[in-house]
Amino acid sequence: MAKITYIEFNGTEHVIDVKPGLSVMEGAVKNNVPGIDGDCGGACACATCHVYVDDAWRDKVGTAEELEKSMLEFAESVEENSRLSCQIVVSDALDGLVVRMPESQH
């Protein structure tokens, strides 16, 4: 299990044990963490699982691939550290990961 801290836009923290192999989006949705919708179920088709990766974790998480980048280009409030959380696969190396959520996913 990897401990992942999801921080809502209003500051509320959710610390969740996520099984390696699941995506960061699935970890949130399956545990009913508000603020990550994941409408398309992880097909990288909707950009409703947008998160900001904590600076300390950006290298370990890596960068977005082409498809994800082009989806993010048009998402709202995109920053340098924006990622679609359905494209981040949880592994033991991400134990301790911290992600923050934007104000809205739409």
DSSP result, the chain:
-EEEEEE-TTS-EEEEEE-BTBBHHHHHHHTT-TT---TTSSSS-S--SEEEE-GGGHHHH----HHHHHHHTTSTT--TTEEEGGG-B--GGGTT-EEE--S---
Query: How many residues form the binding site for other proteins (CB under 8 A)?
Result: 22
Could you say which residues in the range 23-52 bind other proteins, by CB under 8 A? 26, 29-32, 34, 37, 39-41, 43-47
The answer to the question of residue 12 lying near other proteins (CB under 8 A) is no
Q: Is 81 in the site for other proteins (CB under 8 A)?
A: no
Q: Tell me: does residue 63 bind other proteins (CB under 8 A).
A: no
Candidate segments 9-17, 52-60, 69-77, 90-98, binder of other proteins by CB under 8 A: 69-77
Q: Could you count the other beta carbons within 10 Å of the beta carbon of residue 35?
A: 21
Contact set with other proteins (CB under 8 A): 26, 29-32, 34, 37, 39-41, 43-47, 67, 70-71, 73-75, 106
